[in-house]
Amino acid sequence: MSAASARLAPSGLLAGARRRFAASSSAPVYVALGAMMVVSFVLIGPRFLGYDNVLSILQRSVALGLVAAGQTLAILVGSLDLSVAYVVSVTAVLASVVMQGNPEMMIPAVIVVLAVGGLIGLTNGLIITKLGVNAFIATLGMALILRGLLNATFDNFAGSVPREFQVLGYGNVGPVPYSVLLLGMVVAAVWFLLRHTRFGHHVYAVGGSEETARLSGVRSHRVIISAHVLCSVAAALAGLFIVSRLGAGAPWVGPDGGYDLESIAAVVVGGTALAGGRGGVFGTLAGVFILATLDNVFNLLQVDPFIKDTIRGIILISAVAVYALRLRGSR
């Protein structure tokens, strides 16, 4: 396709993006999740589906799910973000320090935290698009910068959040925790963004072929930057949730949760292609539940931590292999 003809076909580009969205079925990963639930019930028994255990799985899913929802956007445009774990730590510590146990500072702290998260994502996006730095290196470098700043400034828990803010981590609406509702709203917002907005179609278009998207009139750099901003804001929300559970922030809360690699694993297990352009946030949510359920089952069965990592690695490789074979067979 020539540059001239490409510029005349933006509608064709958007149609292609819509087809990629439609082809990104998350049904297989939900089938796998259902099978895992059945096997887990057989291995563990009725207590697996008890309220306390289901609540434990959901709570484990919230922080990872928030980060993975944002990571989905970054990966769909053909990028990724390895700085999210330290964005979680930065925002958790910052929220705790700004609030200092004062309920009147909750709203200002949330605004500051989301703004800082967005600024980190903006910086990542600009480094990737304007300086031409590979996303892996750019976000890894940002992670190292944030880690250095955190470790040079804090060596333990800092500040505190008021009891009113801890409702986010421990409060319920009936049997449903507020945090699970937050995760549901974020996932629904990302789905709507991808499915019903021009930005969402551009995300798939840029992930499918950045050069074709650019020649068709899509401002690909703006799309990539926006995806990274939203990714970091989602990580900041995860930091707010974690600090509401702990009562104070600390430099290690993000890295100890493994939210960088875990979020990428959840996105990939959920069926989103690492090359970009194919996948969706509902698949990512199923990937999050699969990883959280695995952790829960391993803990209940007291599986050796090294065996845990081995099994999760096998699952990750198998998922990527299955999706690759499906994609090859559809061509």
Q: How confident is the model at residue 253 (pLDDT cuts 50, 70, 90)?
A: very high
Distance between start and end Cα atoms, the chain: 20
In a domain, 229, yes or no: yes
User: Considering the domain boundaries, does residue 86 fall inside one?
Assistant: yes
The H or E element spanning position 177 is strand 176-177
**Would you say residue 299 lies in a domain?**
no
pLDDT reported for residue 23: 47
Percent of the chain scoring above 90 in pLDDT:
66
pLDDT at 20: 53
For the stretch 49-58, pLDDT in tens is 898 899 889 9
Residue 24: the pLDDT is 54
Residue 86 has pLDDT above 80, yes or no: yes
Confidence of residue 308 (pLDDT cuts 50, 70, 90): confident
Q: Is residue 283 part of a domain?
A: no
For residue 131, tell me if it sits in a domain. Answer: yes
Partner residues linked to 176 by β-bridges: 173
Domains contained in the chain, number: 1
pLDDT at 323 over 90: no
In terms of residue numbers, what domain contains 177? 62-258
Domain-embedded: residue 269: no
110 domain residue, yes or no? yes
* Tens digits of residue pLDDT in 128-156: 999 999 999 999 999 999 999 999 998 88
150-203 pLDDT per residue, tens? 999 988 888 899 999 999 999 999 889 999 999 999 999 999 999 999 999 999
Please check the confidence at residue 315 and state whether its pLDDT lies above 90.
no
Is residue 311, in this structure, part of any structural domain at all? no
User: Cα separation of 71 and 316, whole Å?
Assistant: 16
Nearest CA to 86 out of 146, 159, 127 is that of 146
Query: Which range is most confident: 25-39, 41-55, 78-92?
Result: 78-92
**Which of 118-122, 124-128, 279-283, 311-315 comes out lowest in average pLDDT?**
311-315
Handedness of CA 185, 187, 190, 196 (dihedral sign): negative
Residue 304: φ, ψ to 5°: -60, 135
Percent pLDDT > 70 in the chain is 91
pLDDT digits (tens, 9 = 90+) for 3-16: 444 443 445 555 55
